[in-house]
A and B are shown apart, each in its own frame.
Chain A
Amino acid sequence: MTVKYNADKRIPHPAKWAVLYRSSTPFWDGVKEKKLMLQRCKQCGTWLNPPRPMCPKCHSTESEWVASSGKGKIYSWVTYNEAPDPAFKTPYAVVLIELEEGPRLVSNLADITPEDIRIGMPVEVTFEDVAEDLTLPKFKKAG
């Protein structure tokens, strides 16, 4: 695990802005079941990422949630040397993953130290219970 947390600080949870944005709920429900769910337009197949109520290509409001293979590549990354939030112990890396289906997700790496990160490195999803009430999708070396 390359991100270390301060045990007494709460890791920022996905916001439950129930009224404002219900759209991301299926993603987090999927994570709880160790599935990486992505929203896709039912009519034209466009990925809706981040989630949204209407397809920007065909303006259909019919969408479906499908499981990703969880395979992808590192597209970009940063390393925090100064903690922006007390929950995180520095240094730690944040990566932008390009999934093989196309959508990109922000995540952390499970088994790769910041020094070894390379853009284009193949990775696959793994699920980590980081707190009693929070599971996060993270990525590890593919293979």
Chain B
Amino acid sequence: MPATVELPAPVRVSPAPGPAPRTIRRRTHPMWFLFPAYAVLVVFFVLPTLFNFVYAFTDWSGFKSAINPVGFDNFTALASDGTLFRSLRITLLYAVLVAVFQNVFGFGLAVLLERDTAVNRIARTFFLVPVLMSALAVGYLFQAMLKPSGWLADTTWTLLVVSLIHAWKWMGLSMLIYLAGLKTVPEDVMEAARIDGASRWRAFWTIRAPLLAPAVTFTVATALLGSMNGFDIVQATTGGGPARTTEILNIFIYRTFGQGLFAQATTMSLVLFLLVALLAFPVIYLLRRREQIL
């Protein structure tokens, strides 16, 4: 069989529909474009996280240069004096309170300011101001405002007050996301429901609310998981007090790090990582599944 001598070079003449073959991808979208970003991610994000799993099991401290393995000593010490579970409980409670308040406020504001009028546009801008402010500044502001009332010195209710402040700072962001979600519902669907005789109340809850599911997923997940990593507002309002009743994990980490107790700080940092990682999967999974059911 005579060899076909002149094979045309594999040039794509017309763009084929669907994903292009791998060989072409390799040339047009080379892997090394990923390298700088992933090098930084691995060295400055993944590696310290892996270090957490090592140094939480050592006696690393600011008082001596040697670092020795100590097994689970840090965990048992933190668990036996109650610090571990108290911090966990406070952090979780804080996160849940923030997620609830931030979403309720944000949703309420979105429904209130939904129509595109001049007043509403200006009002929306004002609700975004706290989002832009430094969380530290927000904390000082409310400390100044609430200190005389004693609301920041109550061992039972201060955590609730601080979570309300946190929600106040971020409610504008939730409002924006819910507003965008409300806009995705076409007018004619609502029109059709009204013609079919659905009451306004019913039309709202059976047609518009379910379509907000992606917005709910996003703001609940970010509020819940983000506030677990909170620090500034709690530090600036109470500093973890009174009697450590608002000491969320990051406050503990900050305090023990400042005292040179690096191993304890690392242990709590690992606990926070595991807490968020363990909760992230079920939270996102549950919310996603709700999206599909609704």
A and B interact: no
A residues bordering B, Cβ < 8 Å? none
